[in-house]
Amino acid sequence: MTIRGHRDVTAEAVGAYYDQITEFIDGDLGGSFHVGYWAGLPYGTPVQEAAQRMTALMIDKLAVRPGQRVLDVGCGTGRPALELARSTGAEVVGVNVSRRQLDLAERNAAEAGLTERVRFEFADATDLPYPAESFDGVWLFESLFHMPDQAKVLRQLAEVLRPGGRLVIADLVQLVPLTEEQNQELRETWALNSIAAIHPLVSYPALLAESGLELVESLDITEDSLRGTFRGLQAEHDAYVAANGELPEEADAGVDNGWAKLAVTPEIGYAVVVAGKPSPTVGG
């Protein structure tokens, strides 16, 4: 059963949420607003390095080539999009509903000298302003859970994706059903983080098929991502407190935003899901 989070999540609410928290958590993850990937990393590896490895994993799964065009839905401050363009030679369009994050993304693109290949635009994933079959790849990097009508979003993304293209999703997933008591305990987390819905990992094949996409790969990386990131953050914060006495107020606010509770909820996990848009059948 899909977790139905906060009932009042809207694009405007999500935009306001990120306008507010961006400055708090920007430093912890090195400007990349997603968890890290810790597989094979030794204890004590900086969280920022693990966050960069998660970006690298997403780039690998997207498998785009120079000159191809990618849509980044919920682009944050743009760092994953910039790394994608830099490492693959692809053109990237990032969309977001946070004006503050778009401002920072445009600044980061200018500093990286990538404004000719990476641009950022204000757009709602439920009403994309792009023609059909205009992108070779699409990714949603921890943004799908903000969207109440995820099936509608996936149908739109399938429409703008060219045949043979890939969609890659990194997102919270439900590993086993929550009890009603657990769901009630997490109500504040759903509201605080504008979480609209979290699908069971096992439901993705059907969800994608309804959108005209085919599952390519499904990776449960919970221990090496969600859990590992908060272990890493806690270790870094403990080291800071040991050296300085206490955390800065803004750092404490950035971490204690409800995600820490998700990281210790066994029923909640994290996965990377890869899908493809089938090419038309010859003669069909």
Divide the 284 residues of the chain into consecutive groups of 10 and give the mean pLDDT of each group.
Answer: 66 72 54 79 86 95 98 94 97 95 94 97 93 97 90 95 98 91 85 87 96 97 90 72 62 54 88 95 55
Tokens of residue 179, six digits: 């009890």
**Given phi > 0 = left and psi -120 to 50 = alpha, else beta, which region is 128?**
beta
Which of these is catalytic: 83, 106, 142, 267?
A: 142
Give the pTM: 0.88
Q: Which CATH architecture has domain 3-276?
A: 3-Layer(aba) Sandwich (3.40)
C-alpha dihedral sign at 21, 26, 31, 34: negative
For residue 13, what pLDDT is reported?
72
> Residue 164 and residue 277: Cα distance in Å, rounded?
5
Known catalytic residue at 142: yes
Domain ranges of the chain: 3-276
The edge-to-edge listing of strands for the beta sheet with 161-174 is 118-122, 91-96, 69-73, 135-141, 161-174, 268-276, 214-220
- In Å, how far are 38, 162, 207, 268, 273 from 223, measured between CA atoms? 8, 33, 24, 11, 16
For residue 199, what pLDDT is reported?
92
